Amino acid sequence: MTRVLVLNGPNLGRLGRRQPEIYGYTTYDELADLCVGWGRDLGLDVEVRQTNHEGELLDWLNDAADEEIPVVLNAAAWTHYSYAIYDACGQLVAPLVEVHISDPTQRPEVFRHSSVVTPHAAAVIAGYGIDGYRMALEHLARN
């Protein structure tokens, strides 16, 4: 089975409780279980992680680069300003799919309208709620 890392950045550990009008009521633990199940159905061995510490996400991306593991990444707010995440994504060898639960480009805060991940992404899936993670895994399974 192809191994896939689903990596989540800051504040996504509070899914279900965090601004549910924007991010929905599915908790992070439920999301993680869903991703593993969707992956299994697609023949993917999915591991889901979340961190509020940028260096930890950088370490995971560096490991994914070394091990040539495909990545689904929701870098959350780091998406919009972290050049360290930009550089880490640029080193990935296997495909990277960028996911956002909301569609940041349609939100009122201008800072959300740009992404350091997109230049390195094989696909960007945004605005489909947590279903976007399933779509991202489907993309990786197809390609």
Task: Cite the active site residues.
Answer: 23, 100
Q: Which positions from 103 to 122 touch ligand DQA by CB under 6 A, shown as an x/- string?
A: -x-------x----------
User: Contacts with ligand DQA in 59-78 (CB under 6 A)?
Assistant: 74, 76-77
Q: What DSSP line would sit under 8-42, residue for residue?
A: E-TTGGGTTTS-HHHH-S--HHHHHHHHHHHHHHH
Nearer to ligand DQA, 102 or 118 (CB): 102
Q: Which residue of the chain is nearest ligand DQA when measured via CB?
A: 76
By residue count, the chain amounts to: 143
Distance in Å, CB of 128 to ligand DQA, minimum? 10
Quick check: 11 binds ligand DQA (CB under 6 A)? yes
User: Which tokens belong to 45?
Assistant: 């061995």
User: H or E element: which one contains 66?
Assistant: helix 54-67
